[in-house]
Amino acid sequence: MKIKVQSMGLTPHAPLEEYLEKKLSKLETFYDKIHGCQVFLKVENASDKENKTAEIKLEVPGDDIVVKKTSASFEESIDLCAETAKKLLIKKKELA
């Protein structure tokens, strides 16, 4: 699966990109028809503690799956997105 990362207002460092690749590549074990993945990382309101937003768009046959989560760190936001995407992929596979 090809993963494209876009960040707004920040430059993601290599360990974060590796973490992202590791987490998202596991999603293919739940649904093997993922064509691609777009990830958007953004820092929302700088005065908030929970201001790191990750949005993941999985390109699958039919409607794409889009998940957006905000938390105190990008890693936590990515974890929350990956867990939600996993559930949605399992549901999509069962309905297919």
Could you give the domains of the chain? 2-95 (3.30.160.100)
pLDDT for residue 8: 83
CA 26, distance to chain mean position in Å, is: 11
pLDDT for residue 89: 96
Model confidence at 49: pLDDT above 90: no
36/38 Cα distance (integer angstroms): 7
5/38 Cα distance (integer angstroms): 6
Q: How many secondary structure helices (H) and strands (E) does the chain include?
A: 2, 4
Q: Quick one: average pLDDT of 50-70?
A: 95
Is residue 67 very low, low, confident or very high in pLDDT (cuts 50, 70, 90)? very high
11/67 Cα distance (integer angstroms): 21
Is residue 13 very low, low, confident or very high in pLDDT (cuts 50, 70, 90)? confident
